[in-house]
Amino acid sequence: MRTLVIGGRGFGKHAVRILSGKGYDVLASSTTDAGVEELNATHADNPRVEAVKIRASAQGGFVSQTKEDLDDVLDEQGIEFVYDASQDRTWGDSIHAFHAEVCLAREIPFLAEKPVCNTDELGRQQFQRMKKWGRNEAYTRLDGGFGVQLPFAVIAEELKRNEMYTGLVKGSERITFYWATRTPASERTTDVGIRDNLFPHTVPSFFVDDLIIDSGDVRHTSTEKGETVSFIAFEDGPNPGRGRRKAVEVTVRMEYGGNFTGICFDDSQILAVKREGADNDTIIMAGTERDMFVMDNAGLTVRDGLKLCPTIRNPLEINLQRSIEGRPTVPYAKAIKVQYMMQDVKP
């Protein structure tokens, strides 16, 4: 199988390594000639990897320039699967939706790095187009041919098999996320940088099928390190016996400069995700929000609490293989829900 990784020098380098290691031929793209040379030098000892140029939208003046390049690569190279980890200087992450349309028109399975669209005006326009894909008769492989790379959706899927976790989700009246990462803020825009980068890992990954956000009651607090978003969400479905949905108070604290992934339920139980390389362990322990806000991934061990499910090894590899097989973890219908949630918390 011949695969294409758009954006092979950044985060896409992990997909290049995974796909070539699984025996797939990989074309890794860069927007510049220098980038192509660098990719070829990096993978000189790997006969399965070759570099190719796909120009950024600004280099041609408008997005159609990128379309022409991508069209040529897909048609000439016989590409059978595309993973898009690019971030365009003009369109940002919203370039993913544009690339997806080119691939869907050719019935080529496509996996987009999150988010598919940003929440700025360009992203909103792309999302409006994206919502119409389901009515496009030409996109015959939409259901199994489009997916979004949300690593924590794989973890949430496994957690839902655990009764203790599902009990906490259903029984809690307050849920607080703490997402701290060393990744720097986007150079493109400070308005959508941290929120568009980190929020998809939180409520959309864990509760896209469980909660509906009240977009009329969203509060934002900005800090030097990041942003906190608070809102009321409702259980997605009637609350048995009372004819009304249960309200849940949700807070999402997103920061740069740390290294921790966790959820606190009712200010008493903490679910921490211990990351060790590409491996992920989920640990439940007693603790408050204040405890969680000072935690760090490096100091966690599985012995700190109860391990809820088996170690989840390399969610990116899982998502890539599922998409190749036509069964993405986050398919089109769920991706639409994720984008709605992102728009719901936009100021």
**How sure is the predictor about 90, in pLDDT bands with cuts at 50, 70 and 90?**
confident
Q: Which two tokens stand for residue 290?
A: 């204040």
Q: Looking at residues 265-282, what average pLDDT do you find?
A: 96
CB atoms within 10 A of CB 51: 22
pLDDT at position 190 over 80: no
Calculate the average pLDDT of the chain: 91
Sequence ranges of the domains in the chain: 2-149+317-330, 151-313
Strand duo 226-235 + 211-222: pairing = antiparallel
CB atoms within 10 A of CB 42: 16
What is the structure's pLDDT at 111? Answer: 98
pTM of the full structure: 0.93
Q: Which residue has the higher pLDDT, 296 or 186?
A: 296
Q: Is there a shared CATH topology between the 2-149+317-330 domain and the 151-313 domain?
A: no
Q: For 281-292, what is each residue's pLDDT tens digit?
A: 999 999 999 999
Residues 6+ apart with CB under 8 A from 116: 93, 94, 96, 97, 100, 126, 127, 130, 148, 335, 338, 339
Q: Domain spanning 151-313 has what CATH number?
A: 3.30.360
Q: Looking at residues 313-338, what average pLDDT do you find?
A: 97
What is the structure's pLDDT at 62? Answer: 56
| Alpha-carbon distance values, 202 to 61, 65, 153, 211, 252 (Å) | 35, 34, 9, 12, 7
End-to-end CA distance of the chain: 43
What is the structure's pLDDT at 240? Answer: 47
| Alpha-carbon distance values, 339 to 110, 180, 219, 230, 235 (Å) | 17, 22, 19, 18, 18
CB atoms within 10 A of CB 82: 25
Distance, in Å, from the CA atom of 198 to the CA atom of 261, rounded to the nearest integer, reads 11
β strands within 223-329, DSSP E: 226-235, 247-256, 260-265, 269-276, 279-286, 306-307, 312-313
Distance, in Å, from the CA atom of 229 to the CA atom of 196, rounded to the nearest integer, reads 12
Q: For residue 278, report the phi and psi dihedrals to the nearest 5 degrees.
A: -95, 0
Distance, in Å, from the CA atom of 26 to the CA atom of 4, rounded to the nearest integer, reads 6
Quickly tell me which residue has 């909103």 as its tokens. 124
In the DSSP assignment, the letter for residue 119 is S
CB atoms within 10 A of CB 194: 22
What is the structure's pLDDT at 184? Answer: 59
Q: Which residue has the higher pLDDT, 216 or 160?
A: 160
What is the structure's pLDDT at 345? Answer: 95
Q: For 113-142, what is each residue's pLDDT tens digit?
A: 999 999 999 999 999 999 999 999 989 989
Q: For 169-186, what is each residue's pLDDT tens digit?
A: 999 999 999 999 876 544
Domain 2-149+317-330 has CATH 3.40.50.720: yes
Q: For 9-50, what is each residue's pLDDT tens digit?
A: 988 999 999 999 999 999 999 999 999 999 999 999 999 999
The radius of gyration of the chain from alpha carbons, rounded to an integer in Å, stands at 20
State percent of the chain over pLDDT 70.
92
CB atoms within 10 A of CB 216: 8
Quickly tell me which residue has 């190719």 as its tokens. 52
Distance, in Å, from the CA atom of 230 to the CA atom of 253, rounded to the nearest integer, reads 9
Residue type, 119: T
